[in-house]
Structure 1
């Protein structure tokens, strides 16, 4: 039974024709018509083709975004059964290589704001040097492709640099936010046995300093696989010497000759491990591969979010939430990612909105709880 016009949701906004003409999705449709002889009357026809002709669709995404890889993109899909489907089995690539091909001196890679501090811009050159130095340090400490690296860090430049360092050498990243407690951390990291832990001593939230030193000490006693701890200093870094076994200060870890090569890996080589909520037992560890994330984030962020060089992306969330991973993906399309660490309503409910305006954020994402809180404040 078809619904009447009165039953249909009201359209709140429609993009003007000039915006539609200039968006990335329109450019992709134009490319399909000119390069592949594929024409579609509207978005829904394009969508139906994309889900009906999986191999053709994803091969065009590969070509349109000029994926850099060794080997061949053919066959696109080796068997469609689940589980067992194998995508781009003959291709080898690297996530970090696709990030740094966007490097430019014309705009920053990051804008970083930590609670209690002024925001600062991080150039692509600074990000490259930090990532290259951490990659060299990890290799010097025996980390190889497939080894797991755990991160217990806030939403800072160091976190992004360390992640890209891991990706460049094929180490597998696993991040938890510093507000997570010891049992939550161990439920996740005991499953993957990390050899390196990046950890902070403390962080600021809602105008207060939160001490994480004891939590890190408990982690190290419970995770015998950890041989090296890279300490990223927080507000309490100067209050006494830390005695974490295998500790290497961040300042030492980046004070080496950068070595940012890009090891091209099988398409499904794990890039990071994320986790389910753990409401029905232990959190389920889920590995996402280099290739799947590269091609999916390019498609999602460029075509569906119309993100491009010159845009600024901020997704409000901690480093233990999957949207942090998506936000870093903004670098794949040349956008500047904006890291906002701290309470968005401190020192007042309009703090984040002023920040978004001041720093020219063009794409903003958040959870519903923040919007509800703003509504209650009359914003």
Structure 2
């Protein structure tokens, strides 16, 4: 179902069309639309990425000698010889008196504005302090911070020095944080004393003390007194003292693939994987995604509802490359808080998870006059979510279901200025991303379910995994199935019109009677039923070629999973999907466990039901509700 189409005037005035007109003159050939751009971009990948460098004026302080090396993925290197600094790129636009960061806290207090001049001064001061305490290029600066200006300043200053950044949000417990940051052996730790959530002020002083005790390589600790007024911990330096100097800006010129930050996977089993992204790749990705697909221009505003532990936080920083400002919201999304923030701050582009949309409400009288684009990521947006945005937020707002990952700190697929909005579908493949759906035999397929693969390298792919010098873990994670081809781990349908449908993770995809079923299809249907709060579906192989398809249901408050509700579930799945989607058993559950980044823990529950012990099936420190996962472990044990 087509919900929305762009007008000719909207296309003509877009940042994408402006780039296509420039590109047509540069290449001496027309580019009628995004489809033409995508086809050219993957046919001549090197020339496409040099066009991004030239169009956005990426400032290399030393020239490149080769666009990319001939090495197959994951050893491909881009723009060899080039030197730059991502932080310098991020801070070069934006008028001094304009607002760079709008910092909003739950509860309705007025935003704290940070101008571009103040941001540049704070970054220069903190970078000078980091150098003074001995931080050098390649050292690690780690943080335990909420979504506030402190995290943005900390990252920019770390990057300015050429050191490597990694941050965990303060809703992570001590074990989950140590499991990530201890791998990096940080030199400096920056940590806040607490955060705000659902009207509560959450004290994290004990967790911070544990981090300091169990990160023995930390030589300097910066205390951020954000949530409480009380004396600073012993042997700490106050945040105000490290950002108040008058140092001149200084940016270490590093090679294109020099590590910028480490992002961690959710780590549902074992230690989380550290994904190392480089200065140059992230600069190019930020220009591409925030410039051509978010369409941001100087003076506009992007609001991403995210924590510092989710890749959306890093993706939003691409806005700075274009002189656009960022809205930083700290708190819970309850009620209409997210949309009130968008209206109050005059947001132009939003980025948020599908779960936030489905749980949202709005208040009468909110003015979304500037909002033109809502980007939705993290999981598939249910059909009802599309209609809710159109009806409650704005009929002329582009709804952009997008998909990528922490892996590339960006997107593979999403909408573009030419694509119509179709309920349940993603607009198309992004320029420079040579992705496809492949069958089990490694052949491209259209209009049928296949593995999402990327057949040519991207600059924002990880330069390495942390502590993986021979690329063994990197290769095992992405290239084991088809050498030299990135297998992302999602099942996808590439439709004949170029749009896509994501069906869920391939390691959790159901295989019933030889037919692969995506878990996202179940949730899209079931979680529109008012009687259901949440659901989880898993499939388990059984002896003698048997297969058990189980559906766990968390009823809405005051609702029981009785025979009538079970009949409704069965008839709804049969009518809206197929008879194959009807589960073998429907079980009432108290909750659905998620990773700390909000993804349903389908694979660990599947492992439990297959007989794996809890400690082997999941890392409890990476679970949002450990008691919920323990319930599934007990359920699995009772069935043996």
Contact 1:131 1:258 in 2 (8 A): no
Residues 55/201 of structure 1: CA separation in 2 closer, same or farther (3 Å cut): same
Q: 158, 163, 172: which one pairs with 1:171?
A: 163
Q: Please, which of 260, 268, 278 is the counterpart of residue 279 of structure 1?
A: 268
Q: Which has the higher contact order (CA 8 A, sep 6+)?
A: 1
Q: Which residue in 2 is equivalent to 1:21? A: 12
Q: What's the offset of the Cα at 1:23?
A: 1.0
CA distance, structure 2, for counterparts of residue 259 and residue 148 of structure 1: 22
Distance in 2 of aligned mates of 1:27 and 1:74: 29
Between Structure 1 and Structure 2, the one with more strand by share is 2
Partners of 2:106 and 2:196 within 8 A in 1: yes
- The aligned residue for residue 269 of structure 1 is 258
Separation in 2, partners of 1:235, 1:365: 26
| Greater mean alpha carbon deviation, residues 33-42 or residues 80-89 | 33-42
CA deviation string 1:40-82 (max 9, x = no partner): 3332121011112111111111111111012223310111511
- What are the ranges of 5 or more consecutive residues in structure 2 without an aligned counterpart? 364-387, 393-640
> 1:90-136: per-residue Cα shift (whole Å, max 9, x none)?
10001111111103035211111123432121111111111111111
2: CA distance, partners of 1:136 / 1:26: 41
- Distance, in Å, in 1 between the alignment partners of 2:276 and 2:103 is 28
Contact 1:133 1:258 in 2 (8 A): yes
Counterparts of 1:302 and 1:167, CA distance in 2:
21
Does the 8 Å contact 1:165/1:260 carry over to 2? no
2:290 aligned residue: 301
* Residues 165 and 241 of structure 1, relative CA distance in 2, 3 Å threshold: closer
- Residue in 2 aligned with 1:291? 280
Instruction: Kindly tell me the number of residue pairs found equivalent between the two proteins.
Output: 364
- What's the counterpart of residue 216 of structure 1? 208
Q: TM-score, normalised by structure 1?
A: 0.92
- Is contact 2:85-2:159 (8 Å) kept? yes
Among candidates 65, 85, 100, match of residue 109 of structure 1: 100
**Per-residue CA distance 1:285-336 (angstroms, 9 max, x = gap):** 0110000000111011111111111211000010111111111221011111
1:233 aligned residue: 225
Distance 1:96 1:234 in 2: 24
Q: In structure 2, do the counterparts of structure 1 residues 230 and 241 end up closer, same or farther at CA, with 3 Å as the change threshold?
A: closer
Equivalent of 1:44, from 24, 35, 49? 35
Q: Please say if residues 312 and 360 of structure 1, whose CA atoms lie closer than 8 Å, have aligned partners that are also in contact.
A: yes
Any conservation in 1 of the 2:286–2:318 contact (CA below 8 Å)? Answer: yes
376 and 302 in structure 1: CA distance in 2 versus 1, 3 angstrom threshold = closer
Asked if 2 retains the 8 angstrom alpha-carbon contact of 1:136 and 1:257, the reply is no
Structure 1 segments unaligned to the other structure (5+ residues): 1-9
Q: How does 1:1-379 map to 2 (within 5 A)?
A: 10-105=1-96, 107-116=98-107, 117-238=109-230, 240-243=231-234, 245=235, 247-345=236-334, 349-374=335-360
- Contact in 1 for aligned 2:97/2:117 (Cα 8 Å): no
CA offsets 1:197-245 (integer angstroms, 9 cap, x no match):
000111221111111111111111111000111011022231x4523x4
- Whichever of the two has the greater Rg, that structure is 2
Q: Distance in 2 between matches of 1:38 and 1:230?
A: 54
**Normalized against structure 2, the TM-score is what?**
0.55
Corresponding residue of 1:6 = none
| CA distance in structure 1 between the aligned counterparts of 2:89 and 2:324, rounded to whole angstroms | 13
Q: In 2, distance between residues paired with 1:110 and 1:232? A: 18
The answer on whether the counterparts of 2:123 and 2:154 sit within 8 Å (CA) in structure 1 is: yes
Q: Distance in 2 between matches of 1:195 and 1:212?
A: 21
Is this contact kept in 1: 2:169–2:309, CA < 8 A? yes
Residue of structure 1 equivalent to 2:475: none
Contact 2:97 2:115 in 1 (8 A): no
Contact 2:305/2:338 (8 A) holds in 1: no
Q: Which whole-Å CA distance do the structure 2 matches of 1:275 and 1:355 have between them?
A: 28
1:88 aligned counterpart, secondary structure: strand
Which has the higher mean CA deviation after the structures are superposed, 28-37 or 317-326?
Answer: 28-37
Shift of 1:376: 11
Q: How many Å apart are 1:168 and its aligned residue?
A: 0.8
Please report the RMSD computed on the Cα atoms of aligned residues, expressed in angstroms.
1.7
Could you report, residue by residue, the CA deviation over 1:168-206 in whole angstroms, capped at 9, with x for unpaired residues? 111111010011001111111111111000001112211
Aligned partners of 2:339 and 2:246: how far apart in 1? 40
Q: Give secondary structure in 1 for the equivalent of 2:2.
A: coil
CA distance in 2, matches of 1:225, 1:105: 38
Structure 1 residues 93, 38: CA separation in 2 closer, same or farther (over 3 Å shift)?
Answer: farther
Partner of 1:5: none
Higher helix share: 1
Residue 307 of structure 1 aligns to a residue in which SS? coil
CA deviation vs aligned residue, 1:248-304 (integer Å, no higher than 9, x gap): 111221232323211111000011000111023211001100000001110111111
Given that 1:135 and 1:259 are in contact with CA atoms closer than 8 Å, whether structure 2 keeps it comes out as: no
